[in-house]
Chain A
Amino acid sequence: MEIKVKLNGKWIVDNIDPDMLLLDFCRAHYCKSVKRGCETSNCGLCTVWLDGKPVLSCNVLAARADGHEVTTLEGLQEEAKEFGMFLAREGGEQCGFCNPGFIMNVLAMKRELDNPTDEEILEYLAGNLCRCSGYASHMRAIHKWLDSKKEAAQREDHIPENREKMLAHRLSKRTQKHW
């Protein structure tokens, strides 16, 4: 079947199998940043934007993108590089395999949430797995990056007495929320 997709700002017309996944479509069009880490929508490596919203491209048929706009890391070079530098400075980029999907979601979060709390950040990004970093460096990088974006903003959870409150909140609502 023929589809027309605006991939990273350029319209592409392609003849595809109806069961082709958006992940494979992106990779076939040289967006190699889109990675496959599982087949069960668990790892977040294949995150791209469909009309500006993050989706797992392993779970979306390419046909669904017909007439829509798809953005991958290749289409967000400047922004991605900026955040990537914060990540690298913390040593948090490590093997790098999860970074493209992770960064796509971080940039989407920035657009969607104003002054996110730590809890909101963790929940937004929970679906992006990383096996190297242990995640703590990701948080440091996100904090510093957000601070640089909005220096005056003082996030609530920077205040020490709120830590225990936050912890209680987390304990009450979850054990392992891996989606």
Chain B
Amino acid sequence: MYAEDLAPENCLVIKLLRSPHAHAMIRSIDTSKAKLVPGVECVLTYKDVPQHRFTQAGQTYLEASPYDRYILDRHLRFVGDEVAIVAADTEKAANKALKLIKVEYDILPAILDYRESLDNEILIHPEEDWTESDWSHGDNKRNSVYHEDIHVGDVDAIFAECDEVLEESYHTIEDQQAMMEPFTANCWMDTFGRLVIQSATQIPFHVRRNMATALGIPKSKIRVIKPRIGGGFGAKQTAVVERFPAVVTWLTGKPSKIYYTREETMIAGSARHEMRVQVKLGAMKDGTIRAIEMHVLSNTGAYGEHGPTTIGLAGHKSIPLYGGKYEAFRFVADTVYSNHPSAGAYRGYGAPQGIFALENTVNLMAARLGIDPTKIREMNMLHEGDLMTAYNNETANACALDQCMARCKEMMDWDNKFPAKVLPNGHIRSVGVAMAMQGSCINYIDEANVTIKMNDDGFYSLLVGSTDMGTGSDTILAQMAADVLECDVDDIVAYGVDTDVSPYDSGSYASSTTYLTGNAVVKAAEQLRLNITEQAAKILECQKDEVEFDGKVLTCVRTGASMTLKDLANQLQGGSDGWLSVTAGGNSPVSPPPYMVGMAEIDLDPETGKVVPIKYTTCVDCGTVVNPNLARVQTEGGLMQGLGMALYEGQSYTDEGVNRMRNFLQYKIPTRMDIPEIEVDFRESYEPTGPFGAKSIGEIVINTPSPAIAHAIFNATGVMHHELPITAEKVWRGIQQKKQEEVQA
């Protein structure tokens, strides 16, 4: 059962009036006629709702996002920005009322090209009550949300000594998470006059904070329940829709719900940040990579949200891949506002953009130097024990990247297939390679806690604050608890998040669940295990270290006396000195990266530019693989999203800033007809800080397809594409342009 299935019967249905302009002020708004439609409960405009700046981003303390939103604002910042909220008994009545709202707009000049945003005289957020986050160095008077400039060593000096220096600029555009369940939430008031928000969200605790801030009410007045989620991929790390039912129910006292259409999900959701990534790479003739410089400009759209935090990953989760050798790096990052829809979190969170750029450049460098691109990686890649200067100065405790490369080459039969061969029908078969990394949680910041309690008959309840967004993480966590408590996984009941009940967790994002929440589960389960033996020792009249526990029976090794867990659990229900329940958790000082290598084999038709992925092989090092089936499916799912991103997914806008990709007719995601043969394998390293040696897997898997496909196309045509998606049209144009250049030469 998902959020919409559990919405209160007969609750108000919410529909929204959206701005037709990319940048405008509301001059006047008249809702009197709309309110007359039978069944309409309320029509809310910026005049009717609390005005407190807040953010919808789901991030834990220290919050990185600027407070730059109102529930409704007079100032509209993208085509689709919300102008008014209608709540009515039926969807029909609400839609009818929408048409009767009269709005006059003062149209403002818009910034539709984010490259022109910084220090533009047009300001997207001129407001005086714009609040910057503690550490993002943004400035709303410059349209800036974030700035960073870090370096280790003197890149310019090293570049001067290099035999070859490549400078390339790449462009990745907004793409959609396209989770099958659109954004949805519903609300009601409970018996104590508190606001209950039931939401398909990855971040229940942040929804509570964000909505309390937006409504200007104490957090204690809000309860957030997360039922089953129909996919998130980061989209639901932003509270995209919660504010609408929250304000309607808070003001009317009546239950209400909102269920975005696919169109609304596409045009007013939280797509991936568009980025321009400029890479400068310096290497010696023998292939040694000595310096990497990266300048990134990111488009956060109308609101700051994940703008300050996504961009860093472009550098911090790509440059360290070559941490084995380079002597200097520099990373400069700027995130700016524009009049596009607000961007958000999407699997990979900035890393795919950076990795696309860096991996392409490394592949170009390999071609320039005449070195096999897998060899140049083997020479320069990160190894276990290396210090990652571009990654918080963490040491790679567990890294099997070299083994992943060897295995992946074997699976692809790289040595025989690289670079390309022409088939009798004129098609070209070619291969491409890329490496990737990610993190496992945000170190020092993310926080995970779990509670495990033992119930009568000896089954357990596992209360987690992290949200299973459909990845099977609740299963993984239950499996870990079962392992420690030596019971069947069915003896553990995992309970989804309810902010009134669950211990605090910063949420399911940043690849943190298996690693961070997993660690909390192991900690809590181990403590519970100790407590069980301690209680049994009292009854068996022996010392607690004399008690052996096999998951079912507790035995005193000295006297041989024993009792079942079931008996113990039931006895503890009366006259005991405390029920058995443990809460444990914490954060992590490190964020151990998983690593992977991906290789694509494509069939390219030079007559049409059509690219069909034939085979994709990948080898992942996510530490210990906790559940092989789920890890494999995570990988396969991420690869397919990555292939979509590489070949056909992406938003596009008219000159007026109107989003052209409004549904699945226009925005194509891969179907099952598009799957290549996918081979997935794992090379396990052992991460000493992870639960059972595990690291993350959820995000990294989307990172390799874009550069690997781009590389395969390069090997087939000699043209490296610098912009995603690489459509058939672009491939064809690339081939024609190259032909012309060759003729001219």
Interface residues of A (CB under 8 A from B): 17, 32, 35-40, 42-43, 45, 89-92, 94-98, 122-123, 125-139, 167, 170-171, 174-178
Contact = CB atoms under 8 A, between A and B. Distances in A.
B671 A96 contact: no
Given A40-B663, A94-B470, A94-B472, A131 B669 contact: yes
Contacts of A122: 672-673
Contacts of B639: 134
A127 B621 CA distance: 34
Nearest to B643: A134
A136 B636 contact: yes
A95 B231 contact: yes
Given A130-B180, A177-B671, A42 B665 contact: yes
Given A95-B179, A95-B229, A39 B261 contact: yes
Given A131-B233, A174-B673, A176-B671, A96 B665 contact: no
B157 interface: no
B706 to A, nearest CB: 16
Contacts, number: 149
B663 A39 contact: yes
Contacts of B230: 35, 95-97
Contacts of A38: 262, 663-664
Interface stretch (B28-36, B64-72, B502-510, B624-632): B624-632
B603 interface: yes
B31 to A, nearest CB: 25
A90 B471 contact: no
Contact of B180 (A89, A95, A127, A171): A95
Closest 4 CB pairs of A and B: A95-B470, A97-B230, A134-B636, A42-B664
A175 B728 contact: yes
Nearest to B471: A94
A91 B472 contact: yes
Given A37-B181, A171-B612, A135 B233 contact: no
B603 A171 contact: yes
Contacts of B469: 95
B5 interface: yes
Given A97-B179, A138-B672, 6 more contacts: A32-B5, A36-B259, A91-B629, A122-B672, A134-B635, A178-B668
A35 B179 CA distance: 13
Interface in B194-238: 228-233
B180 A126 contact: no
A137 B636 contact: yes
Interface of B: 1-2, 5, 92, 177-182, 228-233, 259, 261-263, 427, 469-472, 603, 610, 612, 614, 627, 629-630, 632-633, 635-641, 648, 663-665, 668-675, 678, 728
B659 to A, nearest CB: 15
Contacts of B232: 95
Contacts of A125: 672
Given A37-B182, A135-B675, A178 B636 contact: no
A129 B671 contact: yes
B668 A94 contact: no
A66 to B, nearest CB: 21
B664 A94 contact: no
A97 B180 contact: yes
B180 A134 contact: no
A94 B633 contact: yes
Contacts of B627: 91
A45 B728 CA distance: 29
Contacts of A134: 633, 635-641, 675, 678
B672 A135 contact: yes
Contacts of A176: 648, 668, 671, 673-674
A36 B4 CA distance: 10
A96 B728 contact: no
Nearest to A127: B671
A126 B668 CA distance: 13
A122 to B, nearest CB: 5
B673 A123 contact: yes
A54 B627 CA distance: 35
Contacts of A37: 180-182, 262
B472 A39 contact: no
B669 A129 contact: yes
12 contacts: A17-B92, A35-B180, A37-B182, A94-B470, A97-B230, A126-B671, A129-B180, A131-B669, A132-B470, A134-B638, A175-B610, A178-B668
Residue among A96, A98, A176 facing the most chain B CB atoms (10 A cut-off): A176
B263 A128 contact: no
A96 B262 contact: no
Given A40-B665, A125-B672, A132 B471 contact: yes
Nearest to B181: A97
Contacts of A36: 182, 259
A171 B229 CA distance: 36
A133 B637 contact: yes
A35 B231 CA distance: 13
A176 B644 CA distance: 11
Contacts of B229: 95
A57 to B, nearest CB: 15
Contact of A98 (B180, B648, B663): B180
Contact of A175 (B2, B182, B612): B612
Contacts of A123: 673
B645 to A, nearest CB: 12
Contacts of B178: 131
B674 A131 contact: no
For A38, A39, A133, which residue has the most chain B Cβ atoms within 10 angstroms?
A38
Contacts of A91: 472, 627, 629-630, 632-633
A40 B675 contact: no
Contacts of A174: 673
A38 to B, nearest CB: 4
Given A132-B471, A167-B614, A39 B263 contact: yes
